[in-house]
Structure 1
Amino acid sequence: MLRHLLLAASFLLAVGVLPAQKYGHLNFGNLLATIPGTEAAEAELSAYNDELVEEGERMVAALRARVAEIEAMVEDLPPVELDKYRAEIEQGRREIAAYEQEVGQKLEARRRELLGPLVAEARAAVQTVARENGYELVFDTSQFNTVLFARESDDLMELVRKQLGL
């Protein structure tokens, strides 16, 4: 019994001696928006997106025009020719679908290229502030529903902005 009491007392002492963990939070998206260069990168990304969409719209318009041509001839076509044109139209649809996927990949690659250095700079500043101020964990509050519970924490936005010289 005495052994259990000593064990419990030593556990309580050990827990009492542990340093309190410090948690912080900031909205990383808002931080990124304040970094010089982000607005220009977003504008360039938007222009690139518009170019890609325009190309996709040209592809769709060309396919629609071809479908209209084929529909005008459909009455006079033998079944073998009709099957050939159906395959041609289906190939055009597949190419458009593949292009849509390619657009997403191209946009993501350009986003990483344009915003990657800015994100890296912001992350480095967050890490520096967290280390210098003894934070164990920093939550990104820009992501909806990523933290279901957290004890009160400090907003590090101003400290990180200061670290970035903003």
Structure 2
Amino acid sequence: MKVNFKVVLLLAGFVSLQTTAVLAQKFGYTNSAAILVEMPATKSADAQLKTLQEQLTKELKDKETEFNAKVQEYLQAADTGTLTPKQMQDQEAALTAEQQNLQKLQNDAMVKIQNKRDQLYSPILEKVQLAIDAVGKEKGYDIIFDVAALNVILFANESEDVTALIKAKL
């Protein structure tokens, strides 16, 4: 019986220590989206991405217009009967290849935009993360939540909002 009592007493001590450790943690929160929106580097990155997207969109529209003109030309020639079956087959194959090339160009443009976005935003996000880390260490926070990413914090004391402190670090 003494052994069981000692085990229970020991377990109660561990549970008590665990509870105290959890209660002693300091939590904060921030809104990284609000921070990013106000950063000049983000505005510059957005402008560069918009320019690239407009340029690629124009190039794709020009190629699409050329392709549509070739399709119309082929359809008119096919309707008038001026093409031999071999010529029709060759032109259909060429149009199919051009359509596939156009699709590849669209996919490549999307990848190019995503790569540029990653290239531009990577240093910005790293800078914000370093500021979050610095505030967390300086103010003794164990965890800082991002309400922009999680959006699951149902209540938080405004005194634990570290967004202004993070902005000051940037």
TM-score, normalised with respect to structure 1: 0.85
CA distance in 2, matches of 1:15, 1:117: 38
TM-fit CA distance, 1:42: 1.1
In the other structure, the counterpart of 1:63 is: 67
Alignment of 1:75-114 (within 5 A): 75-114=81-120
In the other structure, the counterpart of 2:30 is: 26
In the other structure, the counterpart of 1:47 is: 51
TM-fit CA distance, 1:46: 0.5
Stretch of structure 1 that moved more, 117-126 or 149-158:
149-158
Cα offsets for 1:25-56 (capped at 9, x unmatched): 22212211111232122112111110000000
Letter in 2 for 1:2: F
In the other structure, the counterpart of 1:12 is: 15
The 1:139–1:115 alpha-carbon spacing in structure 2 relative to 1, beyond 3 Å, is same
The 1:60–1:123 alpha-carbon spacing in structure 2 relative to 1, beyond 3 Å, is same
Cα offsets for 1:112-155 (capped at 9, x unmatched): 33332222211110111112222233222223xx3546774632
Q: Which runs of 5+ in 1 are unaligned?
A: none
TM-fit CA distance, 1:111: 1.7
Counterpart secondary structure, 1:138: strand
Say whether residues 1:135 and 2:141 are aligned partners.
Answer: yes
Letter in 2 for 1:112: D
Identify, as 1 or 2, the structure richer in helix. 2
Task: Among all aligned residue pairs of Structure 1 and Structure 2, give the percentage whose two residues are the same amino acid.
Answer: 23
Letter in 1 for 2:166: V
Preserved CA contact (<8 Å) 1:125 1:163: yes
Cα offsets for 1:81-115 (capped at 9, x unmatched): 21111111111111111111111111122223333
Preserved CA contact (<8 Å) 1:139 1:147: no
The 1:87–1:139 alpha-carbon spacing in structure 2 relative to 1, beyond 3 Å, is farther
**Who wins on radius of gyration, i.e. which is larger?**
2
Letter in 2 for 1:156: V
Q: Which runs of 5+ in 2 are unaligned?
A: none
Counterpart secondary structure, 2:133: helix
Letter in 2 for 1:3: K
Letter in 2 for 1:40: S
Letter in 2 for 1:62: E
User: How many residues of Structure 1 are paired with residues of Structure 2 in the alignment?
Assistant: 162
